[in-house]
Structure 1
Amino acid sequence: MASDTFVFSQPSSFTVFVALIPRRMTYLIGWLVGLCLFQEDALAQSSQTAYSTNSQTIAVGKQLFQQNCSACHNFSQKGIGPNLATVTSDVPAQWIKDFIHNAPDAIDRGDIRANQLFDEYKQAMPSFEHLKNTDLDALLAYIYSQQRKAIGVTDERLGPPQKNPIAAGILPAGLRVDLTEVMTAPATAQKIPLARINKMEGMPGSNNRLFLQDIRGTLYEMVGNSLRVFMSMPGERPNFINTPGLGTGLGSYAFHPDFQQNGLFYTTHTEKANTAPADFAYADSLRVSLQWVLTEWKQTNPAAPTFSGSGRELLRINMVAPMHGVQEITFNPTAKPGSPDYGNLYIGVGDGGSTENKAYFLCKDPNRVWGKVLRIDPAGKNSENGRYGIPANNPYANATDPGTLREVFCRGFRNPNRITWTPDGTMIISDIGQAQMEELNVGVAGADYGWPEREGTFVMNHQGQMDRVYARPTNDSGYTYPVVQYDHDEGNAISAGFVYTGSAAPLLRGKYIFGDVVNGRVYCVDASTLRAGQQATPQELTLRIAGKPTTFQQLTNHPKTDLRFGVGPNGDFYLYTKTDGKIYKITGCTAE
């Protein structure tokens, strides 16, 4: 046997444990999930498997892993994809390599396990036929080298993990919501998701201008029953990228409340690593996957149908991994001119995958930008880079320690994906969870919502097995907990919404309507119950089109719906799906 090769015997049987994972990924999810589910008959066909332990081969594999896999997978816990701690022990190498090479073909050929994976995880990975056999050998060598270090991580000190964190399911609200299809967004890809339509927002000071962005780089204005291009990010910023998915691209946008007068609006977008020096960076020992950029744009003529003007960069952030970026910026729509919050820009910064990539300290540190909601004054100049200001009423604005991150409004989030306000001025922050909990939080200045030590109202071991949660200790204190949460029996990624204020469905008035990105279920809760320090109980709405019951999985004909919510003029309430790009409007509601 060569000195750089390790040979082990495959077991004759094994136990499979794979919890349903989050769904927001486009890379090697299929085969990496598959590694945990191989059947006994397949194992029996390969009694021995060899993996190189040559340091140069492992180094090549590490680079391939970082390029293709690390956004979704690691070796200490389940993240977007499953924990890889034992995959090379559980699955024969040849099947792994074949599946990486062309997973869709395996599904089409009727491979039982491949189809089980597709049925369970609701998506298939693309083929990777460009990878050579030597690449695959190196990739598996690296995975094997890491898994030997990861096996044996335990959390006994925290007590038994919660097998079903929230035993009670979400009950029906007893309301039937009528939807009417309005339009279909232009397809920006040939494969699902066809249109990555994400955030819908009206222009302040205008009664009828409504906008919608496709994360792949286009900001549309909704005109009648069609979408007109208002701005193309690739045309404005040549370094713009929208790969590898996972929220990368044109992340968010926000019009200044005085846009009609000053023509100012703001965007976030992604660029390649090291495109320019970052305002928020970390040690060179950590990989930079990409950069998020916040830009202020000045429209020459605010009434013009398309963008023409200039932009200036406000800040730039390095990210360890592509996911959990800067996917939300917004102004407080309830703030009035002259009030302390008027014109302040809120910025939701995710942890950038730092926790899943063993750099949890980036989001745990209160003086680092990751895992925070920031608040800045775009018109100010007293930031460290001099391009924006720190609002005087920020909770840490007057800190004397020069290391204090004075931009922070609140912290402790994995992915603060949406920030909205109820009509009475209550700030609502959604946080897309890891492997167990999804949550809505009331925004409180200076509050800590717990990540990476808490997920929902449960304890999580960020240095151990992150696909588990534990009961809180009796002396638990210091964290602010969600006002609404649900576990992954009910869905896998929260899609935040709005309080219904329209006239088409009076029975929905005063209800905060939201749902789940993946399965497309639609939930509601009385907005009056969204108060810090108390738990509100969500209920499920049933849907109808032309009087017939339906679901978004049925409408999209796909298990992953990519559901989003928006509000237009006069309180019109929209629901739309990235999977097929179709946009619906609530046109009625009746009691069941």
Structure 2
Amino acid sequence: MHRSTLAMILVAGLLVWPGQAASAASVVYEAESAAIGNGVVESNHAGFSGTGFVNSANAAGAYVEFTVTGAGDTNLAFRYANGTTIARPATLTVNGSTIETLQFAGTGAWTTWDNETVAAVLAQGANSVRLTATTAAGLPNVDALTEGAEGGGGTGPIADPIPQNPIQSDLGLVLTEYAQFPRTEPVPSPTDSRLRRHARINHLGQLADGRRFVPDLNGRLYTLPAGGGTPGVYLDVRAAVGGNFFSGRGLGSGFGFVAFHPDFAANGRFYTAHSEAFQALSTQRADWTQSGAVVQSVVTEWTASDPAAPVFSGTRRQLLRLGFGTYIHGIQQIDFNPNATPGSPDYGLLYVAAGDGGRGTSSTVPQARNQPFGKILRIDPRGSDSANGRYGIPAGNPFTGQPGTLGEIYALGMRDPHRFSWDRGGSGRMFLGHIGEHDIEAVYDVRAGDNFGWSEREGAFRFDRSEPCYLYPLPADDSRFGYTYPVAAYDHNGPPGCTGDLGRAIAGGFVYRGAALPALRGKYLFGDLVQGWIFATNEIEMTRGGTDLAPLHQLKIYNAAGSQVTMQTLAGNSRVDLRFGMDRAGDLFVLSKANGKIWKVTGTR
């Protein structure tokens, strides 16, 4: 993101947006402007706001004291980093009275910033707000204090949209290496180092005959035996497409996904989504296109002459082609509802998650019902009543037959609908992991006709396209818009304003209903694809109909030998590029593009 012009007044470390009373918005107090006892101001760890942060001595009694102007009930959010694994507790006092002891848990690195938030009551006028270290380790590095962290009931920018951070769980996953994939290369040669991965594997599923399948964005579709091991190439999409195949620009470009028809064993049909550019932009007509398209996403139906064969042989035909104006947020996933049974209305219908093409920050494209961008579509691959005659529009879709609206639309208002899945037991609900723009990584409970609000909303917050560097409280009359808000979410915990890529992006996962791991049953497991964090929340607590969020728990990771590790260690890289997979038995798998490996979740502890 680029930073738009925003006039601000900075006085003695106090950040205030002009035209508002300080009590009507979140107010940020920089720690370097506070009173410091036994500590210094430093700037050697990236990610801080303002001009630096306070690094206290390793001593009990070290303190940082802010002078805060306000009155009444409020929230105080302390932005900090603790690169150790041990909490650095501190006593919080307001005007000399002890409020509580804050723990300031480890954040994993001195460049990883988090927020510790507490409710407090301020007196009218100036208030002294002090953090005092209670152990010989001293304070964490303290970056800033935000007063009114949930927006203070006004309309101004929100400094910490989701002050409730994921809870560090005592529960951990045991990961056992399952498969190693060969190195592949993007085309054209990438200029973005994030595309230089060992193998850009991004999903694992299973056929009825036991074979696991794994797509690589650089073009190959692999199969694996049930026990894992050496992958075999079932289909080379890149070779089949030829010179127009494109995977070297944009993190989602290439052979993005594969979905096998639920009756593949009999009809041999499966579907892929891939990217094309080069000559395709001038020779292949898109069904819908954004202006200045630089890449096209294509959905293809393949029919295998022998579904049981180890290598594909058969025919293919194009179903859908969309042109995107940037290299980001194309068609991300296609899939069938695994809960649908033969004869049921949803059986054999293909869901297609199409991103906004990066245009949502400057337009209302995701809200436009006459365009497929920023939507989840649902189509019938065997029908023919679409505008291009290559697929059908299900009669049960929420907007079928409505003038000026695409009948293909199942749900709308999305930026990057990255990964969706269905709960294969229990509720049977469809959950979407949605990558946000400024701050919100969200999980949605997806139902027909839903509108998730982008680009008027990001999560349960107002997004202002004229000032994309901040999020704002919902208006008082928000209910009239009918938006659906997340059931679970976490935020970036970045400093105020536009900060560039902070390395946060959700990797949607699955609800575990398997028999092997009782401690996980009924939990939705997902993660952060950059950092490699793995989260869990109880499916039953993911409730629709408001802005309340289910509590998130960050799980520990253990290798097969029983040692606690991180996904960054297992992947051998600080950018994990985490993805999840699930087989027909409900067993979970964890994938990393960084080193092209898959691990099976074989236990908990």
For the pair 1:470 / 2:466, whether they are aligned, the reply is: no
**Cα offsets for 1:264-293 (capped at 9, x unmatched):** 1001111113340110124xxx31111111
How does 1:45-444 map onto structure 2 within 5 Å?
159-189=155-185, 192-203=196-207, 205-206=208-209, 208-223=210-225, 224-238=228-242, 239-272=244-277, 273-282=281-290, 286-356=291-361, 358=362, 360-399=363-402, 401=403, 403-422=404-423, 423=425, 424-444=427-447
Deviation at 1:159, TM superposition (A): 3.0
The amino acid that maps onto 2:575 is: K
Deviation at 1:416, TM superposition (A): 0.6
Distance 1:175 1:120, change over 3 A: closer
Deviation at 1:200, TM superposition (A): 1.2
For the pair 1:512 / 2:524, whether they are aligned, the reply is: yes
- Report what 1:521 is aligned to: 533
- Report what 1:5 is aligned to: none
Deviation at 1:555, TM superposition (A): 2.1
Contact 1:218 1:232 in 2 (8 A): yes
For the pair 1:479 / 2:483, whether they are aligned, the reply is: yes
In structure 1, the residue corresponding to 2:569 is in which secondary structure?
Answer: helix
Deviation at 1:474, TM superposition (A): 1.9
Contact 1:434 1:467 in 2 (8 A): no
Contact 2:185 2:218 in 1 (8 A): no
Deviation at 1:524, TM superposition (A): 0.4
The amino acid that maps onto 1:446 is: G
- In the alignment, the residues of structure 1 paired with residue 467 and residue 230 of structure 2 have an alpha-carbon distance, to the nearest angstrom, of 47
Q: Which has the larger radius of gyration?
A: 2
The amino acid that maps onto 1:453 is: E
- Report what 2:592 is aligned to: 577
- In the alignment, the residues of structure 2 paired with residue 587 and residue 531 of structure 1 have an alpha-carbon distance, to the nearest angstrom, of 29
- In the alignment, the residues of structure 2 paired with residue 557 and residue 573 of structure 1 have an alpha-carbon distance, to the nearest angstrom, of 21
- In the alignment, the residues of structure 2 paired with residue 199 and residue 448 of structure 1 have an alpha-carbon distance, to the nearest angstrom, of 26
For the pair 1:539 / 2:542, whether they are aligned, the reply is: no
Contact 1:347 1:374 in 2 (8 A): yes
In structure 2, the residue corresponding to 1:161 is in which secondary structure?
Answer: coil
- Report what 1:489 is aligned to: 493
In structure 2, the residue corresponding to 1:274 is in which secondary structure?
Answer: helix
Deviation at 1:164, TM superposition (A): 1.1
- Report what 1:22 is aligned to: none
- Report what 2:569 is aligned to: 554
Deviation at 1:221, TM superposition (A): 0.4
The amino acid that maps onto 1:262 is: N
The amino acid that maps onto 2:293 is: V
**Cα offsets for 1:78-103 (capped at 9, x unmatched):** xxxxxxxxxxxxxxxxxxxxxxxxxx
**Cα offsets for 1:340-389 (capped at 9, x unmatched):** 11110000000001124x3x232221221100000000111111111100
The amino acid that maps onto 1:568 is: D
- In the alignment, the residues of structure 2 paired with residue 441 and residue 486 of structure 1 have an alpha-carbon distance, to the nearest angstrom, of 12
- In the alignment, the residues of structure 1 paired with residue 350 and residue 477 of structure 2 have an alpha-carbon distance, to the nearest angstrom, of 36
- Report what 2:583 is aligned to: 568
Distance 1:275 1:251, change over 3 A: farther
Deviation at 1:296, TM superposition (A): 0.6
Contact 2:203 2:591 in 1 (8 A): no
Distance 1:370 1:330, change over 3 A: same
Deviation at 1:566, TM superposition (A): 0.6
In structure 2, the residue corresponding to 1:329 is in which secondary structure?
Answer: strand
- Report what 1:459 is aligned to: 462
Deviation at 1:418, TM superposition (A): 1.0
Q: Return 177-186 or 208-217, whichever deviates more.
A: 177-186
In structure 2, the residue corresponding to 1:226 is in which secondary structure?
Answer: coil
Distance 1:444 1:577, change over 3 A: same
- In the alignment, the residues of structure 2 paired with residue 308 and residue 220 of structure 1 have an alpha-carbon distance, to the nearest angstrom, of 14
Richer in strand (by share):
2
For the pair 1:587 / 2:602, whether they are aligned, the reply is: yes
The amino acid that maps onto 2:596 is: G
Instruction: Say what the alpha-carbon RMSD is for the aligned residues.
Output: 2.8
- In the alignment, the residues of structure 2 paired with residue 517 and residue 177 of structure 1 have an alpha-carbon distance, to the nearest angstrom, of 17
- Say how many residue pairs are matched: 439
- In the alignment, the residues of structure 2 paired with residue 535 and residue 361 of structure 1 have an alpha-carbon distance, to the nearest angstrom, of 26
Deviation at 1:503, TM superposition (A): 3.5
Contact 2:300 2:317 in 1 (8 A): yes
Question: Identity over aligned residues, as a percent?
Answer: 41
Deviation at 1:547, TM superposition (A): 1.2
In structure 1, the residue corresponding to 2:328 is in which secondary structure?
Answer: coil
The amino acid that maps onto 1:229 is: V
**Cα offsets for 1:153-208 (capped at 9, x unmatched):** xxxxx9321111111211023212211112221111497421111011112x33x1
Distance 1:458 1:346, change over 3 A: same
The amino acid that maps onto 2:284 is: A
Taking structure 2 as the reference length, the TM-score comes to 0.69
- In the alignment, the residues of structure 2 paired with residue 530 and residue 165 of structure 1 have an alpha-carbon distance, to the nearest angstrom, of 19
- In the alignment, the residues of structure 1 paired with residue 430 and residue 553 of structure 2 have an alpha-carbon distance, to the nearest angstrom, of 21
Unmatched 5+ residue regions in structure 2?
1-12, 16-45, 53-109, 113-153, 187-192, 495-502
Contact 1:457 1:481 in 2 (8 A): yes
Q: Return 192-201 or 453-462, whichever deviates more.
A: 192-201
- Report what 2:144 is aligned to: none
The amino acid that maps onto 2:374 is: G
- In the alignment, the residues of structure 2 paired with residue 499 and residue 377 of structure 1 have an alpha-carbon distance, to the nearest angstrom, of 26
Deviation at 1:120, TM superposition (A): 6.4
Contact 1:210 1:569 in 2 (8 A): no
Richer in helix (by share):
1
In structure 1, the residue corresponding to 2:417 is in which secondary structure?
Answer: coil
- In the alignment, the residues of structure 1 paired with residue 309 and residue 544 of structure 2 have an alpha-carbon distance, to the nearest angstrom, of 42
In structure 2, the residue corresponding to 1:554 is in which secondary structure?
Answer: helix
Contact 1:436 1:467 in 2 (8 A): no
RCO greater where, 1 or 2, for CA within 8 Å and sep 6 or more?
1
The amino acid that maps onto 1:554 is: T
Taking structure 1 as the reference length, the TM-score comes to 0.70
In structure 2, the residue corresponding to 1:199 is in which secondary structure?
Answer: coil
Contact 2:360 2:454 in 1 (8 A): no
